[in-house]
Structure 1
Amino acid sequence: MKINFDPFLRFIKIKSLSSIVMLVTSMAALYMANSRFASMYQEFLELEFTIGFSEFHLTKSILHWVNDGLMAVFFFLIGLEIKSEFITGSLNSIRRAVLPIFAAIGGMVVPIIIFLVLNHNQKGIEGWGIPMATDIAFSIGVLGVFGSRVPLGLKIFLTTYAIIDDLGAIIIIALFYSSSIDWHLVIIALILLSVLFILTALNIYWKYFFLFSGIIIWLLFLKSGIHPTVAGVLVSFTIPLQRKKKFSDVIRRGRKALNELSLMIGKKEKVFEEHKDALHVLDTFTSSIYSPLQYLQYRLQGLVAFLIIPLFGFANAGITFTAQGSAISPLTLNIAVSLLFGKVIGISLFTYLTVKLKIGVLPLYTNFNQIIGLGFLGGLGFTMSIFIANLAYDSADMINSSKIGILLGSMIAAILGLTILKFSLKKKLNLE
């Protein structure tokens, strides 16, 4: 049986290209924060933007709209990817999922332990969640440097591991990085979520109702003290994976519409006025052939990859190296060391133990040297790590120091990962 990897390969390609765009916007932010444009850059991020009307409105700075608003869409997409992987992807069976699951657990637990040991009785201990996160776009982007030399199983392993890592980060954010909670608002949000789950179970899906409900749930979480990006993940889990219409009916209508339009070849364009129904059928064909979950994944991947994530990088990577207190501190080094060594030790050790105990097996055409290389790529923590740093600290100096640590650890991890993979990947992959 031939397996179709086209959606997965498209996912890999988008993540790789996204990492390039995010790198460019992040470098632009670094330049502006340390140049004569620094004040302009800060004023832009602090510029307030209001949505709503006189009696009911929400006013936030651009930085907060990006981190609390746009990033909720990012987490919504992550939730869709997690649900898809658990139902139809590489996590839909214990045998296929066990290795990346254990690797992800090691990649989260070990960095946290190292950080807690290094930062014992020091300022900044509350940032223990920072080194546990992996940036899926940057890690896949770095791996993509080797092109066809990378076995498909290794790409799937990294992607699956990173998705589970994202799930772990989401849980940590929800449980430990939310402020004092107004449980009345949380209960209302959970009731509304329950309604969406019930509608999905009954195979009822009204996209505008789900959209409006999602916005209300996001607002309730925002006001309750739980970080609103968690709402994005929870709402994504309510999106149905099954189609509303039968596949055969959709194909039949699409074929009929194409046959009708094919009769118009060579005729004047104004004749199409007579075939509005056929054009409407083709216009809605894509949304009909996909399930709601697949359709939203398809539509949101480009928006998140090439707009939201680059904007997040531009808004949050503006580290000031010249300001007082922004020099490398113990916190900076602790985060860099935890991110770098915690990830490679955790991922490699847990993978090795899982294989040796015969709980799981390595992907085809891969070896432990390549897993070590991937372990270092797991140390690329940019997006998620910076996001958690913003939640963990109130002090601008500590946020700045933690960002420097994230950048330092991520850069060294990328270099070491590239070096190991360069020598461990065969020059030409032989699949015979």
Structure 2
Amino acid sequence: MRLLRSARFPAIILLAAAALGLILANSPIADGVQAVKHAYVGIPGLLQMDVGHWIADGLLAVFFFVVAVELQFELTSGQLNSAKKALRPAIAAAGGVLVPIAAYLAFAHGTDAASGWPIPTATDIAFALGVLAVFGKGLPSALRVFLLALAILDDIVGIVLIAVLFTSDVNFLYLGLAVVGVVIFRILSGQLDTRGRVPAGIALVLVGILTWYFVYQSGVHATIAGVALGLVMIQQPALQARHHLEPWVNAIVLPLFAFASASVAIPAVRASELSPAFWGVLVALPIGKIVGITAAGWISQRVGRHEGDPPPLAVGDLLAAGALGGIGFTVSLLLSELAFAGEAEIRDQATLGVLAGSMVSLILSGVLVSWRAMHHRRIAVAQEQPA
């Protein structure tokens, strides 16, 4: 379990699952993989979805619950618990969202792929921290804090985009029932430290499942249920729940989602025939993120500076953070599925763009983080030597 809570190993599993999905989808057993992915499972007359949607709408809600618990902690007790702490990473995150959108639309504006502009806005925290853990020995803590805050704010943007852009035909009865479920969940979470801990825990799980069902039936994307429940849960039991769920999310939920999302056929076309969605994401993730985060991060550290503030991050450190921000992966894959839900060919090419763009960012970030880590280690050694 300790291995599955580490920063490195889950990122490796996630990458391996995505690679396996892509390989099998382009192998002789591709038809079998797609048949399993699109097989319908559920209770007739109540709820039926294909396996791919059970993973994206059901299991991924657990991942978003874990993310929301972390967001709640950071917003109340952590790195973003004041406007002053949040301002600089917020400005950098804004650059890391707006510039990739502009880069994507430079390729896709006026085409059928234009609706995919939210895809390159996301940063995958697990991957980014995994790269830091592997290559970042010696980096200053200020850079780690900056990156974590940046990635968390990116997640907030992704969650808002999912809630606002991909909700249609809202059923307000079910939405009202979901709100009631969230309130009951909040109340029950406060009972976990009483003598009725086990009954309260069972009730909490059942209310959580019911709330997810109501959100799904309301027309709001079902993963928002996980976000709402994670944000309202009493903090201490929420952190305990996150601790228990994290290994399962890293070992099962995210690899299954990566496998299912990446199981797309590589189109047998020339590069000039690829969709603008592919090129837009491929460029927007590595280049748009680096440019946006570095430029906005540089500006943010010169806004409202006071004497005694910690020194600003060097441009090289900001470049490393920008490259890490380009590893979109999990949320970008989800946004790709949502943006092109009814256009399978464009969706598959956008997914390939996410995989390729994230891989480029992964390589770039590994190089840049290693360079900056070596730089800071040399400085530390020089400072330790006697004058």
Out of 138, 144, 155, the residue aligned to residue 127 of structure 2 is 138
Matched, 1:292 2:237: yes
Query: Are the equivalent residues in 1 in contact too, given 2:301–2:312 (CA < 8 A)?
Result: no
Tell me how far apart the structure 2 counterparts of residues 158 and 366 of structure 1 sit (CA, whole Å). 11
Matched, 1:34 2:26: yes
Aligned to 2:315: 368
Using the TM superposition, give the Cα deviation of residue 365 of structure 1 relative to its aligned residue in structure 2, in angstroms.
Answer: 9.0
Aligned to 2:146: 157
Using the TM superposition, give the Cα deviation of residue 301 of structure 1 relative to its aligned residue in structure 2, in angstroms.
Answer: 1.0
Aligned to 1:319: 264
Deviations 1:371-409 (A, max 9, x none): 111101211111111101101111111111101211222
Return 5+ residue gaps in structure 2 as ranges. 195-199
Query: Are the equivalent residues in 2 in contact too, given 1:196–1:210 (CA < 8 A)?
Result: yes
Return 5+ residue gaps in structure 1 as ranges. 1-9, 242-290
The amino acid across from 2:18 in the alignment is S
Tell me how far apart the structure 2 counterparts of residues 323 and 182 of structure 1 sit (CA, whole Å). 42
Residue pairs, 1:245-284, within 5 angstroms: none
Matched, 1:219 2:227: no
Tell me how far apart the structure 2 counterparts of residues 363 and 309 of structure 1 sit (CA, whole Å). 37
Using the TM superposition, give the Cα deviation of residue 364 of structure 1 relative to its aligned residue in structure 2, in angstroms.
Answer: 6.7
Pair 413,176 (structure 1): closer, same or farther in 2 beyond 3 Å:
same
Using the TM superposition, give the Cα deviation of residue 130 of structure 1 relative to its aligned residue in structure 2, in angstroms.
Answer: 0.3
Tell me how far apart the structure 2 counterparts of residues 390 and 187 of structure 1 sit (CA, whole Å). 27
Tell me how far apart the structure 1 counterparts of residues 82 and 295 of structure 2 sit (CA, whole Å). 23
Give the number of aligned pairs: 371
Query: Are the equivalent residues in 2 in contact too, given 1:151–1:366 (CA < 8 A)?
Result: no
Out of 8, 14, 25, the residue aligned to residue 6 of structure 2 is 14
Pair 47,121 (structure 1): closer, same or farther in 2 beyond 3 Å:
same
**SS at structure 2 position matched to 1:72:** helix
Decide which structure has the larger Cα Rg and report it. Answer: 1
Query: Are the equivalent residues in 1 in contact too, given 2:106–2:280 (CA < 8 A)?
Result: no
> How large is the Cα RMSD of the aligned pairs?
2.7
**SS at structure 2 position matched to 1:49:** strand
Pair 175,204 (structure 1): closer, same or farther in 2 beyond 3 Å:
farther
Tell me how far apart the structure 1 counterparts of residues 86 and 365 of structure 2 sit (CA, whole Å). 23
Using the TM superposition, give the Cα deviation of residue 57 of structure 1 relative to its aligned residue in structure 2, in angstroms.
Answer: 3.8
**Residue range with higher mean Cα deviation, 196-205 or 209-218:** 196-205
The amino acid across from 2:334 in the alignment is F
Matched, 1:73 2:82: no
Pair 369,149 (structure 1): closer, same or farther in 2 beyond 3 Å:
same
Using the TM superposition, give the Cα deviation of residue 34 of structure 1 relative to its aligned residue in structure 2, in angstroms.
Answer: 0.8
Tell me how far apart the structure 1 counterparts of residues 99 and 322 of structure 2 sit (CA, whole Å). 12
Aligned to 1:43: 35
Aligned to 1:346: 292
Matched, 1:420 2:368: yes
Deviations 1:276-323 (A, max 9, x none): xxxxxxxxxxxxxxx201211110111111111011111111121145
Aligned to 1:330: 276
**SS at structure 2 position matched to 1:237:** helix
The amino acid across from 1:31 in the alignment is I
Tell me how far apart the structure 2 counterparts of residues 12 and 345 of structure 1 sit (CA, whole Å). 33
Matched, 1:308 2:300: no
Pair 134,313 (structure 1): closer, same or farther in 2 beyond 3 Å:
same
**SS at structure 1 position matched to 2:263:** coil
Aligned to 2:101: 112
Deviations 1:165-184 (A, max 9, x none): 11110011000012321122
Aligned to 1:245: none
Give the structure-2-normalised TM-score: 0.87
Residue pairs, 1:384-399, within 5 angstroms: 384-393=331-340, 394-399=342-347
**SS at structure 1 position matched to 2:123:** coil
- The percent identity for this pair of structures is 31
Give the structure-1-normalised TM-score: 0.79
Tell me how far apart the structure 2 counterparts of residues 143 and 410 of structure 1 sit (CA, whole Å). 15
Using the TM superposition, give the Cα deviation of residue 66 of structure 1 relative to its aligned residue in structure 2, in angstroms.
Answer: 0.5
Pair 125,11 (structure 1): closer, same or farther in 2 beyond 3 Å:
farther
Using the TM superposition, give the Cα deviation of residue 425 of structure 1 relative to its aligned residue in structure 2, in angstroms.
Answer: 2.7
Query: Are the equivalent residues in 2 in contact too, given 1:181–1:225 (CA < 8 A)?
Result: yes
Query: Are the equivalent residues in 1 in contact too, given 2:5–2:246 (CA < 8 A)?
Result: no
**Residue range with higher mean Cα deviation, 330-339 or 415-424:** 415-424
Query: Are the equivalent residues in 1 in contact too, given 2:116–2:277 (CA < 8 A)?
Result: no
